[in-house]
């Protein structure tokens, strides 16, 4: 069965450091991989999308890599700030018209001042 794993349930880092979150998947061939941020009691907020034929995507302090051989995506936040503290979700969608998303369980990031 399809499985999406995010490396750890919780990650604490010091302000200013780079946070690296991992998303691994099995039994899946996604066309897109996406990262979302979710704050407590709120819906997810879209951050970045990367396609299967792309290796890296950047947006301001965020960087996403996508290795379809390893079946892994890495999500980096550079120069992290306490305001970056949230749960980060990776989500995969297959090719096809529906573009349904399957979510990982999320990693709760805490950036310590």
Q: Of these, 22, 71, 72, 103, which contacts other proteins (CB under 8 A)?
A: 103
* DSSP assignments along the chain, one per residue: --EEEES-SEEEEETTSPEEEEEEEES---SEEEEEEE-TTS--EEEEEEETT-SEEEETTEEEEEETTTTEEEEEESS--GGG-EEEEEEEE-SSSS---EE---EEEEEE-
CB of 21 to other proteins, least distance (A): 14
Residues 59-88 that bind other proteins (CB under 8 A): none
Residues 28-47 that bind other proteins (CB under 8 A): 32, 34, 36, 41-46
State which residue, 102 or 110, has the beta carbon closest to other proteins.
102
CB of 15 to other proteins, least distance (A): 25
Give residues in contact with other proteins (CB under 8 A). 32, 34, 36, 41-46, 49, 89, 93, 98-106
């Amino acid at each position: 069965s399809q499985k999406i794993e995010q490396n750890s349930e919780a990650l604490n880092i010091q302000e200013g450091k780079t946070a690296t979150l991992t998303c691994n998947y099995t039994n899946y061939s996604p066309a897109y991989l996406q990262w979302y941020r979710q704050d407590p009691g709120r819906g997810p907020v879209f951050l970045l999308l990367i396609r299967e034929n792309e290796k890296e995507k950047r947006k301001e302090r965020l960087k996403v890599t996508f290795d379809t051989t390893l079946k892994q995506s890495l999500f980096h936040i550079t120069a992290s700030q306490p305001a970056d503290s949230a749960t980060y979700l990776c989500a995969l969608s297959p090719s096809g018209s529906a573009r349904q998303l399957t979510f990982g369980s999320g990693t709760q990031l805490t950036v310590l001042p």
